[in-house]
Structure 1
Amino acid sequence: MFDFFRNNIKLFMGLLMVLIIPSFVLFGIEGYSSFREGKDVVATVGKQDITRQEWDAAHQNEVERMAASMPGMDRALLDNEGTRRATLERLVDQRVLTLAAQKGMFLTSDQRLARELTQDPNIAALRKPDGTLDVERYRELLRGQGLTPEMFEANVRSDLARRQVTQGVLASSFVTEASARTALQAFFERREVQVAWFKPADFRAKVQVSDADVQQYYDQNTQAFRTQEQADVEYLVLDLDAVARNVRLNEADLRAYYEQNNTQLAQQEQRRARHILLTVAPGASAEDKAKVRAQADALLAELRQSPDRFAELAKTRSQDPGSAQRGGDLDFFARGAMVKPFEEVAFGLEKGKISDVVETEFGFHIIQVTDVRRPAPEPFEQVRAKLTAELSRQQAQRQFAEVAEDFSNLVYEQADSLQPAAQKLGLTVRKASALLRTGPQDPKADAVLANARVLSTVFGDDALRQKRNSEAIEVGANQLVSVRVVEHRPAQTQPLASVAAQVRERLVQQRAQEAARTEGRAQLAAWQAVPASATALRAPVVVSRNDTQGLPPAVVAAALSVPAGASTAAWTGADLAAEGFAVVRVNKVLAREAIDDARARQEREQLAQLWAQTEAQAFLKALRARFQAKILEKKKETAG
């Protein structure tokens, strides 16, 4: 129910989108700051420029990341003008926060960096059986993102510093209980309403449109009947999938990769354990530590005699407040979740066995493993296809640079056709019709056709005139495109004869809408003057922001906005644009239904979180002004 609250507040929705879209830490945006081919500046922050190349690279990385996390998602939904604009806004915010962090001397210590990296599941999965990081696999993971370990770690440091800029605002924000109660009561208020709806469809039959009207409308709105400039193109895409399709693997390679994966699978083993902890105060003397150790040894001896009393003794003797009440139970955990000495012992014990005394930075532990979960390896033949795809892609990553050079040379040297390059590299020449300067008209079209650099190339003077292969265009990490214009159709005004029916329909609809609005406003005035004459109103219904009773949002908003007394009805109207006009009578105001304490507490917490995000966004807006952030790229109008 409270989700509706968020969905109906534009400002809060914008803030939540910032939360939903993950940090660009893994994308190496900072690494692109020197990648400036030309000076096509789309935004500035102080004296720093953000180029179109940086924007394209950042957005492509974002699309690739989201596509990888949602394999079934249509890429056209991830790569469009709206998402591109959102990427640019985030780039500006990121640059502003970076400057603010530098001005505020916000630094990230090596310890904080290490802690952040150990919490990254992608990195945790790269641990060897002994718990150390597999450096080569770590480098390979980053290499696939175009990063070195130094670049990646610098990006993480920068991201942590940026977080500190707004953390103080987020942490210090609060909403008093009285304020929250007042706001929520008002937001969830209910109103009993009656509605009369004046729809354009009911007035269409009365509308008269003459040929002269059609001619006049056409003459006054010729721009509305211009066809957009269009191009039919052929294009060739080289990416990792294309290179992977040409990789040939032998049986020995697959078998070796299968064994390697089984080893990694074994590293995913999880253990369930319980422990008894006797803590040692930080900075304790050797004598004090020895006393605690003696207590641990005595407790261990007692457990050796009565192993079945482990849970009982953990409840009474363990000094770990998090697990003592559960008999010392720590639930299941994988490698990397516990401190090293504890982990080594826990993963070395057989199920049911009790360890010797284990010393860690927290004190002295006695550990008992109560359960073991090991992922069972799948038979080789069952996973052959999956392993083939994975290994082919890995080898494709290593070969891509060499194939990309061949691709670039072929499309340049044989510029009259893309077919020779396609045949040599095992690619398919793709085609697209009616491509606009703003991108494909079909939302399901290939995402590369919406790329700004591709569109700029297609509609460049040379491409339109010569109709030759373009140079290899880098549209993303490990993705190149060459495009050739086959046919170009300039924008032109359609003759009236071909659009007369369309013009007539527009006029009829416009006049029907106006007639509906006029009648609705007239009835509103009449019913306000003589309420008893309002016989066309529908039966009363109780509406609220989270229960609209099927009424249009504009009607509900109007009903909840008009001042209404306890004893007299209030009248208002709602312009529904293409849907006509609605007259709304508010009969009475009703308080929200009673809720339990848990629900009330949850709503107050959510409101406090939203308020904190609002303050953080206001702070960020102030920082934008302070550092003179400007977006130079104008928003594009939606085609059609």
Structure 2
Amino acid sequence: MLQGVRDNLKGTTVSIVIIVLFIVPMVIAGVGSSFLGSVAGTDAAEVDGRSVSFAELDREVYLQKQRMLSQQGVDPSADYLKDENLRGPVLERLTRKAAMLAAADHAGMGVDAATVNRVIATQPDFLTDERFDSQKFRSVLSRIGLTPANFKVSVAEDLMLNQINYGLEASSFVTQAEKAALISLVHEKRTFFTVDIPSEGLREQVTVSDADAQSYYDENQESYRKAEQVAVEYIELSLAKLAETMKVDEAQVKSQYEADVAKFDAAPEYTVAHLLIEDGDSSAAKLAEVQAKLAEGEDFAELVKQYSDDAGTRDLGGSLGVVLPGIYPVDFEMAVYSLDSGEISAPVTSDAGTHLIKVLDKHVPKPPAFADRKAEIKANLQRIQAEELYTANLESLDKLTFSAPDLSDAAATLGLTVAQSTLFSRTSGTGIAGNTDVRNAAFAPEVLQDGHNSRIVELANNRAVVLHVKQHEPEHIQAFDVVKASIVDKLTQQQVNEMLKSKADVFVETVKSGEAAEKLAESLGYAYSSFEGATRSDPVSDPATRSQAFAIAKTDSPVDLHVSITPTGVTRVIGVTSREPGKASEVGDDMVEGLSSQLARENSRYEGSSFEAGIVSSAKIVTR
């Protein structure tokens, strides 16, 4: 299987498919990077000779936290986001990856530089106006602590892992028996009926005495315990809101724009193709023949398809994409930089052989127009100004609230508004109280018991709050009179449910004895519905009932019955009278092929997980 994976690496078309499907979402996230050098004391783990450095682990923990924070409704102060709680799972993921990479190394797998170069140069996050932007490329990498050389290795590792995934998926197959069984199940038809037993008038037949309610309350008091709660007043200082008040004139924006333009990297970017002739007895003659045909005006791309020894780029006319600094040998890069668009180099030698390089496009980046940058520059200048004021206001906020009896003077001095929360507990709350640090501050002894203002609580996105307890409700068991109505309602519904179940049980037993379900339902005033030859996806009844009808085991009995409670609380008897397995002849070739592909994908996932588990279990993993 791994040999097949290695063979797939040689095919450019397959590689590109894998790049599009798998690697694009992973590049910017910084997945990989076990390339970091390690010395004694810098490794978090060692896996079959591959190291996972502490620097790599720290970066991956940071990236994992950022990915989680980007999800809506995530509390930045939640315990599961703390570094010490993320390190374990992240380290396990990195060691599993290292084990897979080590296995790939041992199997002789690899990814050529040209493929890696094409992947990097076509990533949307590195493009400006559909062209590779070297400044954006370096900027993105610097934000996640990578260099271009490091990143190249990271991409190569990810490509290699995804080749393994593709190899496993491509080798997965589905037997005819599996297809038949899946079609039989998925496209099965069932005839079933439903009988709804009405609850109208039953509540009126139930009486719950005060003694019954009191007895239930006495036996279940703990379920009526109400956690300690507080409501707070608070003032919030926000860098973003301060920035909105900062005044920045046109001249400042223009000056900053000109400074940015002065630093703009206008180095040309080259999109190239090459024709490779590997060293050998006939290489000189082959090179001379190619050069002669080029001199006669023959098309470079066609000559590549005919003569090039680079299987990875031959069918692409030799295209290597954009040349990135440090990706190719120095002589190769220097030859490129000496050419203009459309020109072809003299022969350039490297370890791979002799190259003829053609510049397909020479692009000189231009700085963005002032109009395109104006709004962003202004916002940045406003933020820079606001940062100084924010820091000063933080110090003032601390001094103004430290020994004050409340928050009013501090709010007036700093131009802030005193807001108020709803009641919240130590473990949950809404609004500002959804933050763990805010809740901890509110329940701190000096705030809750002594009545002082809280310390400054710094929140995400440069926000800070100080709070003061406005209302306090100690933990207590709610009085019987407060919860009596809910107890009576609960006990009433319990008795109604018992009555409905009894009615359903009688109905089921009567039908089992031979009575026709429809006739019996009509005599009892129950709602009866019948569904003939329905499939799992037919819009009949409701999804929950339909799912239950297909979950009932069909026996030799004329009818198989089940009592359920619908999501809306209706007591329903479901009866299945017949089952017809799905047939491929009734489904169509496209549907059969689709189901087969889906099953193959599921099989490959299981096989991939099993394969990975086997690699990891046999790997020598040492963590520190």
Task: Please state which band the TM-score falls in when normalised by the shorter chain.
Answer: 0.5 to 0.7
Residue 14 of structure 2 corresponds to which residue in structure 1? none
**Cα gap change, 1:149 to 1:255, in 2 (>3 Å):** same
Contact conserved, 2:202 with 2:496, CA < 8 A, in 1?
Answer: yes
Structure 2 residue aligned with 1:431, among 396, 410, 420? 420
The aligned amino acid for 1:562 is I
Letter in 2 for 1:216: S
Does the 8 Å contact 2:99/2:615 carry over to 1?
no
Offset of residue 611 of structure 1? 4.1
SS of structure 2 residue aligned to 1:434: coil
Deviation of 1:232 after TM superposition, in Å, equals 1.0
Alignment of 1:539 with 2:537, yes or no, is no
Secondary structure of 2:70's aligned partner: helix
CA drift of 1:298 comes to 1.8
Deviation at 1:434, TM superposition (A): 0.9
CA distance in 2, matches of 1:125, 1:63: 26
Q: Of residues 382, 394, 398 in structure 2, which corresponds to 1:407? A: 394
| Counterpart contact for 2:277–2:287, Cα < 8 Å | no
Picking from 433, 450, 457, the partner of 1:466 is 450
Q: Deviations over 1:507-542 (max 9, x none)?
A: 333322232222222212221222424433312244
1:540 match: secondary structure:
strand
- Report the TM-score, using the length of structure 1 for normalisation: 0.63
Q: CA deviation at 1:359?
A: 6.9
Within 5 Å, which residues of 2 pair with 1:200-279? 200=199, 203-237=202-236, 240-242=239-241, 244-245=243-244, 247-256=246-255, 258=257, 279=275
Q: Which residue of 1 aligns with 2:550?
A: 560
Partners of 1:573 and 1:581 lie apart in 2 by 7
1:125-204 aligned at under 5 Å gives the runs 137=139, 142=143, 148-149=145-146, 171=168, 174=172, 176-178=174-176, 180-181=178-179, 182-183=181-182, 185-198=184-197, 200=199, 203-204=202-203
How do 1:366-381 and structure 2 match up within 5 A? Answer: 380=371
Alpha carbons 1:58, 1:87 under 8 Å: kept: no
CA contact (8 A) 2:237 2:463 kept: yes
- Asked whether the 8 Å contact 2:76–2:460 carries over to 1, the reply is no
> What is the count of residue pairs matched by the alignment?
545
Aligned to 1:635: none
Which letter maps to 1:255? K
Give 1:550 shift. Answer: 4.1
Structure 1 residues 267 and 292, CA gap change in structure 2 (3 angstroms): same
| One-letter amino acid of the structure 2 residue matched with residue 470 of structure 1 | S
**2:238 and 2:462 in contact (8 A); partners too:** yes
Question: 1: CA distance between counterparts of 2:268 and 2:470?
Answer: 57
Q: Work out which of the residue numbers 589, 595, 601 in structure 2 matches 1:603.
A: 595
Q: Quick one: distance in 2 between partners of 1:86 and 1:408?
A: 27
Structure 1: how far apart are the matches of 2:203 and 2:61?
Answer: 48
Cα distance in 2 for partners of 1:515, 1:343 equals 90
Question: Contact conserved, 2:126 with 2:133, CA < 8 A, in 1?
Answer: no
Contact kept? 2:99, 2:616, Cα under 8 Å: no
For 2:542, the equivalent position in structure 1 comes to 551
**2:574 equivalent to 1:584:** yes
- Is the 1:59–1:87 Cα contact (8 Å) retained in structure 2? no
One-letter code of the match for 1:471? R
1:124 to 108, 123, 126: 126
SS in 2 for 1:538: strand
Going from structure 1 to structure 2, the CA distance change for 1:611 and 1:108 (only over 3 Å counts) comes to closer
1:280-318 Cα deviation digits (max 9, x unpaired): 254557x61663364155235325xxxxx899x589858
2:379 aligned to 360, 378, 389, which one? Answer: 389
1:221-274 Cα deviation digits (max 9, x unpaired)? 333444432211234555552453355434234225556889999999999x9x
Matched, 1:292 2:290: no
Cα distance in 2 between the residues matched to 1:270 and 1:501: 76
- Partner amino acid, structure 2, of 1:525: E
Counterpart-to-counterpart distance in 1, 2:163 and 2:603: 14
Instruction: Give distance in 2, aligned partners of 1:624 and 1:462.
Output: 51
User: Structure 1 residues 418, 573: CA separation in 2 closer, same or farther (over 3 Å shift)?
Assistant: same
Partner of residue 571 from structure 1, selected from 561, 564, 581 = 561
Conserved 8 A contact 2:208-2:492: yes
Write out per-residue CA displacement over residues 553-577 of structure 1, whole angstroms, 9 at most, x where no aligned residue.
Answer: 2x33332222325894332332447
Task: Indicate the structure (1 or 2) with the bigger Cα radius of gyration.
Answer: 2
Distance 1:567 1:489, change over 3 A: closer
| Contact preservation (8 Å) 1:57, 1:475 | no
- Cα 1:284/1:207, change in 2 over 3 Å: farther
Moved more, 490-499 or 606-615: 606-615
Change (3 A) 1:626 1:531: farther
Cα 1:420–1:164, aligned 2, differ >3 Å: closer, same or farther? farther
How far the C-alpha of 1:495 sits from its partner, in A, is 2.8
Alpha carbons 2:61, 2:83 under 8 Å: kept: no
**Counterpart contact for 1:239–1:479, Cα < 8 Å:** yes
CA spacing shift, 1:551–1:606, aligned 2, 3 Å? same
SS of alignment partner, residue 529 of structure 2: coil
2:297 maps to which residue? 302
Supply the distance in 1 between the matched residues of 2:250 and 2:368 (Cα, whole angstroms): 19
Mapped to 1, the partners of 2:184 and 2:295 lie a distance apart of: 59
Q: Does 1:440 align with 2:429?
A: yes
Pairs within 5 Å for 1:307-386: 349=341, 354-356=342-344, 363-364=355-356, 380=371, 384-386=374-376
Deviations 1:151-180 (A, max 9, x none): x979x969969x969967993784533464
* TM-score relative to the length of structure 2: 0.64
Write the deviation string for residues 605-627 of structure 1: whole angstroms up to 9, x where unpaired.
33343344456667899999999
Q: 2:476 aligns with which of 492, 516, 521?
A: 492
Q: Residue 192 of structure 2 contacts residue 575 of structure 2 at CA under 8 Å; is this kept in 1?
A: yes
1:604, CA displacement in angstroms?
Answer: 3.2
Q: Which amino acid aligns with 2:426?
A: R
What is the alpha-carbon distance in structure 1 between the residues aligned to residue 366 and residue 536 of structure 2? Answer: 48
Q: Name the residue aligned to 2:504.
A: 520
Q: CA 1:576–1:346 in 2, change beyond 3 Å: closer, same or farther?
A: farther
CA distance in 1, matches of 2:259, 2:479: 68
- 2:246 & 2:297 partners in 1: Cα distance? 62
Paired residues of 2:560 and 2:575 also in contact (CA < 8 A): yes
Cα distance, 1:343–1:237 mapped onto 2, change above 3 Å? farther
Distance 1:99 1:570, change over 3 A: same
Structure 2 vs 1, CA of residues 373 and 149 (structure 1 numbering), >3 Å: closer, same or farther?
closer
| Cα pair distance change 1:316/1:121, threshold 3 Å | closer
Determine the C-alpha separation between the residues in 2 that align with 1:345 and 1:202: 89
* Deviation (angstroms), 1:194: 1.0
**Deviation by residue 1:436-472 (Cα, 9 ceiling, x = unmatched):** 223225xxx34xx323333233223333113333334
Distance 1:165 1:519 in 2: 59
* Structure 1 counterpart of 2:486, one-letter code: Q
SS of equivalent to 1:302: coil
Whole-angstrom distance in 1 between the partners of 2:429 and 2:570:
33
Structure 1 position 65 matched with structure 2 position 70: yes
One-letter code aligned to 2:542: L
2:441, 2:455 within 8 Å by CA — same for their partners in 1?
Answer: no
Q: Identity of paired residues, percent?
A: 17
C-alpha distance 123-93 of structure 1, shift in aligned 2 (>3 A): same
CA distance in 1, matches of 2:587, 2:150: 48
**Separation in structure 2 between the aligned mates of residue 568 and residue 264 of structure 1, nearest angstrom:** 84
Task: Give the CA deviation at 1:186.
Answer: 1.9
Name the CA shift for 1:184/1:23 in 2 (closer, same or farther; >3 Å).
farther
**Deviations 1:564-614 (CA, angstroms, capped at 9, x unpaired):** 258943323324476143211112223347444444334333334334445
